[in-house]
Structure 1
Amino acid sequence: MNESTQTVPAELRSWSTHWPQYQPVDVTPAELQPAALATAVPGWAEAAATPADVHDWDERRRCALVPFELDARGWPLHPRGRTGSTGRNLGRWGENSAADPIVVAGNGRSRVVLLITRGDIGVEAIPGGMVDPGETAPQALVRELREETGVDLAGHHPIILGRDIVDDWRQTDHAWVSSTSALFQLPVEVTAVAADDAVGAGWWPFGSLNQLDIAIGAAGRTLYAAHRPLLQRAVDYLNQLK
């Protein structure tokens, strides 16, 4: 899995930087190509073949977790600039809102964090996912956690840690993921069983991000790079509570 921004030099990522030679790669999968959408629309995706077919950009921009602009054509532009990819490999054009519940048990060096093994890319990650239409981020946090691990924290009140762009492997210049990350604190571990998009679920040492890296590496696994900033923010918050 390659991070798409690696194909774009840092000094050329900004949309305000003139780069007439820029030729992003179209990563739209077969099921989201215009001809396919005209026949059948996947349940997880909108029917718009291009951003020009979307007619509620004012509302989408108003509700966005991270502000974004439109180009001269009226197409959404990734808030962090060029990605090296174009087209759409996500459910919606523009921002795709996600929820990432960070579940931690215990304290200090004995802390552990609940992660899943993602079925799509085979790495250890926060058990999150996309916010459904009509759903709030807090509702999505609880639902995604329950669907992917069997852990039901509906009675808990999470601490919202941030609302950020996630460097998702599917992002393009015109479609990206913004996530609400939240911390759930438990006194002890609870049973977690992988389901839905997860092929594994378990608790990992979480006294620090470095401790987590070492444990995951020792198990021959890899931590999802896009979730590292979210997990580090959780560590920083927990350390302030000492």
Structure 2
Amino acid sequence: MTEITETIPAGLRPWSVDWPAYKPTDATPPELRPSALARHVPGWAEAAPTPADVHDWPQRMAAALVPYELDEQGWPLNPGGRTGRTGRHLGRWGENSAADPIVVAGRGQQRQVLLITRDDILQEAIPGGMGEPGETAPDTLVRELREETGVDLSEQRPVILGRDLVDDWRNSDRAWVASTSALYLLPATVPAVGADDALAADWWPFISLDQLDAAITVAGRTLYAAHRPLLQRALDYLAQ
């Protein structure tokens, strides 16, 4: 999968760089266009047809995992810069907070990581997903892991690795994903079964990113590129 930001030259991504000819493509799917929202609002999406219809920007910005700004018309600007896409292909305008639980079992050459096969892109990825209204990041981590793999780590306290932008394929200039990534350490693997948004849940060797990538490739699958930095961060932590 080609990452969205690769369509924009690095020197032109910052909003501080003047680019009069910039014309991003509208990424809004049919069900989120104003005419469709006037008839029906999907349960996973907010009703606002444009950012102008959102009235709690101060609260959203204060709670953001990654700080961002509004432009002169009061519309949110992706803190990662231009994406080549505008509109909304996510539940909310501005930041859509998510959580990515990285579950690692075992030690040394026996170390493994739990990944799911996502049903939207058919690639191997960290379990996780979007937070629900009023839900904290720790709650999202536990809920998403349980829903997608059946693994309940509610009694475990994870190591928070970071709060970052995710180069998600649905990102646009006006709506994007930011995630809390957390590391759970287990003495051994536990049973896991794919459910909800996961077609499968499997344990993979986790000594290095190259080894993980090779194992997934041999199995005829593909590692989700946007999660590679998060997995590498977990490996860096484990190497300390």
Same structural fold, with TM-score higher than 0.5 when normalized by the shorter chain: yes
- Residue 200 in 1 paired to residue 184 in 2? no
TM-superposed deviation, 1:9: 0.6
TM-superposed deviation, 1:2: 2.8
List alignment gaps of at least 5 residues for structure 2: none
Equivalent-residue separation in structure 1 for 2:106 and 2:214 (angstroms): 19
- Residue 167 in 1 paired to residue 167 in 2? yes
- Residue 92 in 1 paired to residue 92 in 2? yes
CA RMSD in angstroms, aligned pairs only: 0.6
| 1:111-122 equivalent positions in 2, closer than 5 A | 111-122=111-122
Partner of 1:14, secondary structure, is coil
Equivalent-residue separation in structure 2 for 1:109 and 1:5 (angstroms): 35
List alignment gaps of at least 5 residues for structure 1: none
Equivalent-residue separation in structure 1 for 2:134 and 2:44 (angstroms): 14
1:217 matched residue in structure 2: 217
Deviations 1:83-105 (A, max 9, x none): 00000000000000000000000
Partner of 1:65, secondary structure, is coil
Letter matched to residue 106 of structure 1? G
Letter matched to residue 87 of structure 1? G
Equivalent-residue separation in structure 1 for 2:173 and 2:4 (angstroms): 10
Equivalent-residue separation in structure 2 for 1:108 and 1:8 (angstroms): 40
Deviations 1:39-58 (A, max 9, x none): 11000000000000000101
Equivalent-residue separation in structure 2 for 1:239 and 1:9 (angstroms): 34
Partner of 1:213, secondary structure, is helix
Partner of 1:170, secondary structure, is coil
| 1:32-51 equivalent positions in 2, closer than 5 A | 32-51=32-51
Equivalent-residue separation in structure 1 for 2:165 and 2:87 (angstroms): 18
Partner of 2:239, secondary structure, is helix
Partner of 1:19, secondary structure, is coil
TM superposition score normalised by structure 2: 0.99
Contact 1:101 1:183 in 2 (8 A): yes
- Residue 59 in 1 paired to residue 54 in 2? no
Contact 1:95 1:176 in 2 (8 A): yes
Deviations 1:64-109 (A, max 9, x none): 0000000001000000100000000000000000000000000122
Q: 4+ residue runs of structure 1 moved beyond 6 angstroms?
A: none
Partner of 1:148, secondary structure, is helix
Letter matched to residue 60 of structure 1? R
2:71 matched residue in structure 1: 71
Letter matched to residue 130 of structure 1? M
| 1:127-138 equivalent positions in 2, closer than 5 A | 127-138=127-138
TM-superposed deviation, 1:32: 0.2
TM-superposed deviation, 1:60: 0.5
TM-superposed deviation, 1:220: 1.1
Deviations 1:165-216 (A, max 9, x none): 0000000000000000000000000000000000011000001111101101
Contact 1:109 1:208 in 2 (8 A): no
Equivalent-residue separation in structure 2 for 1:5 and 1:101 (angstroms): 24
Equivalent-residue separation in structure 2 for 1:108 and 1:168 (angstroms): 31
TM superposition score normalised by structure 1: 0.98
| 1:134-149 equivalent positions in 2, closer than 5 A | 134-149=134-149
Q: Percent identity?
A: 72
Letter matched to residue 39 of structure 2? T
Letter matched to residue 76 of structure 2? P
